[in-house]
Amino acid sequence: MNAELQTQIAFHLAGRKPEAAAEGAAGADARPALLARYRDLSALRYDFPLLLLRNAGDRDYVRCLSGVIDEVVHGLAGGDGGERLTRHLLGLEREIRVLLAGGARGPLSALWDDAAGRLARGDESLQDSLRRGRRALKADGDLVDCDESLPTLLLKHAWGVVRERKTRKLGEDLRRLGISLANILQADAARSEAGRSPDSLKASIGAGHAEVFDFAAMSRLLAKASPKDGLPASRRRRIESLLSVLKAQRFVPVPGESQTQDRCYAFTFGSCAEALAAYRERLPKAIELARSIAVAELEVKGEYREAVHDPLFKEFAEGSLGQEELAYFPDYLVCMSADTLQGAETDRLMELLSAGLPVKILVQTDDLLEESTIARDGHFALGMRSKQLANMALGLNDVYVLQSSSSNLFQFRDRILAGMSYAGPALFSVYSGASDGSGSLPPYLLAAAAMESRAFPAYSYDPAAGPNWASRFHLEANSQLEADWPVQEFTYEDENHQRVRTTPAFTFVDFIACDPRHARHFARVPRAEWNDKMIPIEETLRRGAANAGDSVPFIMLVDGDNVLQRAIVDERLLRAAMRCRESWHSLQELGGIHNSHAERLLAREAQAREQKPQPTPEAPVQAPSAPEAVTEPEEKKTGDDPYIETPRCTTCNECTQINDRMFAYNENKQAYVADPDAGTYAQLVEAAESCQVSIIHPGKPRNPAEPGLAELLSRAEAFA
């Protein structure tokens, strides 16, 4: 074992750096090799910036800028100059990105005009294209880039869409109920004596026709026709109190009444404590309003029965507010940063979530790689507070949980909206990538790196989507689900100027390499000392404990001059990577991938199938011979009793008019023989003859002494 290898192993095992390679991982500008191509984000077309649509439809509340430009191009490029137009508009898109990177903010229309102003200096065709594009631009709203304010802005916007929907519905219902209740009172007033007096009648007719009518006579006429009693006093009191509650509520603005807008409760908060306090404070009002709405619905339909409903509604308390009733009211939104989650605040968070209250909580983590406070060097907390928070919330089973990096938020936009619409608590745990100590990487790349390296995988758990984990848990947003680490192709030029293709994996260690605070765990190895005992990190991770002490893991980095570097990694990082991989494995099992239970079951079944002897092809089983003769449901009563084929009776009253004790109607008003002895055989035969559908069968005479039997029997033969 040569000396270089020994120093490398020494570093790997003990972290002791040789003096020569003291400067750590190739300087501050190094980044993992796979991120080499993404130097200038503004030259790329990717998911960001996002356009938060101003007039958000129900489904479509956010678009990406590239998508909007594509739509404009597609709509316009049908005409001539399509190629040039596309080029111009793409150039504009890039200019907007540059502006945003420089810190500009604002609505799309303003930024578009700004960028267009900068670009179009004297170039006629460019100006023309930009003008046409601007006219074709239909969507507008605020543009946000992937920075630390993105999660809050996007989720607030999504929450706003859902709140708007709820506000509209609740406001409409309140308005409708208010009008209907007022109508009841008004109708009663119109019918009352005061309403029928000549003066009020005169007031209700417009000024133009006041002279034409004799109101005294009208009043007298109405007095005769009107019902004598008005609304009972208890009902009137109930309606009036309902009206006052509905008017005084402060949960939603009522459409058509402008002054209610300002009085409304706020529903956004910065901490769980505030949200909880506000909820508790408003709870009595919420109960009163829900109760009033229920009573009002019954009253408006005229179905309120005091005897039955009064005691029920007296007991209407917090317990009666089920999840559906609560979903009627706007939800509470709490946007907080993971830094503020200490002690009591975490308690309150879990309390809110487990109580099933309608809160939507956003916990934003800005820094995943903080060191644990129980300082063991290299033992990362792995974003302890926020990541474990989402896992804890999963255990509560009826909380909507969404975990994602901000780079993935656009792909998750439908799930975000689903979470906001979910009738119950929801937790959104987002890693923004916008930490201060992260060196030169923009937040988008850092966030994407966190997701790729399984440090912060993206998943969603929707309790409303189905009865089991398979339908509720969604892990598919992560790349290459079956693998431990995603693998990408990487091409570089070696010292002989030959193209080399490799497929490195992007591991947790690569993610840590993005963070200069942890540079001491890496040691750059100069090219001269590269040897074949250095193996790629994913190989080491795969071998695991089988690692003999004679190899060192390395990762590939690219420095500021785009030169490929290799840096070896110390053992603590390996351990951290293995822990990260373990938690990824757990998530995979939850998502049904390499699920150990499923695999065991499959193995058992495969084994059972092998052990069972091949069944010999049997002779086709003789079907049991079909039962003889379709059984007649209407058994022909071979007895002598008279009977009627009741289901075919047409209720024509012929037989019941002959003898209504012998023939009677059943509960479907169809006839049957109620009492065969209540009349004569002659009546039976007469009924059989007059029956329109001939369903009466007289049978045999019951009284042999009846006169004229012979003739009756011959007549009865036709009805046997």
Chain residues binding another protein by CB under 8 A are: 172, 175-176, 179-180, 182-183, 256, 290, 293-294, 297-298, 303, 305, 308-309, 312, 316, 320, 322, 324-325, 328, 633-634, 647-654, 657, 667-670, 690, 692-694
In whole angstroms, the minimum distance from the beta carbon of 420 to another protein comes to 21
Cβ-based nearer residue to another protein, 172 or 339: 172
Which is nearer to another protein, 346 or 656 (by Cβ)?
656
Output the six-digit token pair for 109: 């229309």
Shortest Cβ 694–another protein spacing (Å): 7
Query: What is the phi-psi region of residue 383: left when phi exceeds 0, alpha when psi lies from -120 to 50, beta otherwise?
Result: left
Q: Minimal distance in Å, beta carbon 352 to another protein?
A: 23
Residue 109 vs 656, nearer CB to another protein: 656
682: Cβ contacts below 8 Å, ≥ 6 apart: 706, 708, 712
What is the 3 state secondary structure string of 443-470?
HHHHHHHHHHCCCCCCEEECHHHCCCHH
Which CB sits closer to another protein, 374 or 720? 720
Residues contacting 471, CB < 8 A, separation 6+: 465
Closest distance to another protein from the beta carbon of 194 (Å): 18
Give the bridge partners for 555, in sequence order: 567
**DSSP state, 371?**
B
CA distances from 47 to 63, 136, 144 (A): 9, 21, 11
- For another protein, the closer of residues 217 and 652 by Cβ is 652
Residue 248 or 298: the one with the smaller Cβ distance to another protein is 298
459: amino acid identity, one letter: Y
Which amino acid, residue 573? L
Q: How far is the CB of 303 from another protein (least distance, A)?
A: 6
Least spacing, CB of residue 247 vs another protein, in Å? 14
What is the chain's length?
Answer: 720
H helices present in 592-707, as ranges? 596-611, 654-658, 681-690
Q: Give whichever of 73 and 290 is closer to another protein, judged by the CB atom.
A: 290
- In 3D space, the residue among 157, 120, 126, 162 whose CA is nearest the CA of residue 142 turns out to be 157
**What is the rounded CA–CA span in Å between residue 40 and residue 173?**
52
Beta bridge partners of 672: 664
Number of DSSP helices (H) and strands (E) in the chain, helices first:
25, 22
Residue pair 427/399 in contact (Cβ under 8 Å)? The answer is yes
- Residue with Cβ nearer another protein (304 or 461): 304
* Residue of 485, 480, 481 lying closest to 509 (CA atoms): 485
Find the DSSP H helices in 142-257: 150-191, 198-204, 215-225, 233-248
Nearest approach in angstroms of CB 466 to another protein is 22
Residue 717 Cβ vs another protein, minimum distance, rounded to whole Å: 16
> Least distance to another protein from the beta carbon of 276, Å?
25
Which is nearer to another protein, 310 or 377 (by Cβ)?
A: 310
Closest CB to another protein among residues 182, 277: 182
Smallest distance from another protein to CB 665, Å: 8
Q: From CA 60, how far away is CA 158, in angstroms rounded?
A: 10
The minimum distance between CB 632 and another protein, in angstroms, equals: 8
- Taking CA atoms, 150 is separated from 23, 235, 407, 443, in Å, by 35, 53, 10, 10
Least distance between another protein and beta carbon 389 (Å):
32
Least gap, CB of 172 to another protein (angstroms): 7
Q: Are 696 and 642 in contact (CB under 8 A)?
A: yes
Scored b (16 or more CB within 10 A) or e, 17-49 reads: beeebeebbbeeebbbbbbbebeebbeeebbbb
Which tokens hold the place of 370?
A: 């903080």
**Whose Cβ is closer to another protein: residue 297's or residue 571's?**
297
Q: Decide whether 78 or 311 has the Cβ nearer to another protein.
A: 311
| Min dist. Cβ of residue 695 to another protein (A) | 10
Q: Which is nearer to another protein, 176 or 594 (CB)?
A: 176
Cβ 328 to another protein, closest distance in Å?
A: 7
Tokens of 592: 């049904």
d(CA 366, CA 385): 12
User: Least Å distance between CB 397 and another protein?
Assistant: 22
Q: Omega of the bond prior to 49 within 30 degrees of 0, cis?
A: yes
Q: How many CB atoms lie within 10 A of CB 172?
A: 13
**390: which residues sit within 8 A by CB, 6+ positions away?**
401, 403, 427, 429
For residue 119, give both structure tokens.
Answer: 């670009």
Rounded CA-CA distance 523/507 in Å is: 17
Say how far apart CA 331 and CA 350 lie, in whole Å: 17
Q: How far is the CB of 628 from another protein (least distance, A)?
A: 17
CA distance 654 to 690: 7
Residue 554 CB-density burial (10 A; 0-12 exposed, 13-18 middle, 19+ buried): buried
8 A C-beta contact, residue 177 and residue 254:
no
Closer Cβ to another protein, 221 or 693, answer by number: 693
Token look-up 């987002």 returns: 430
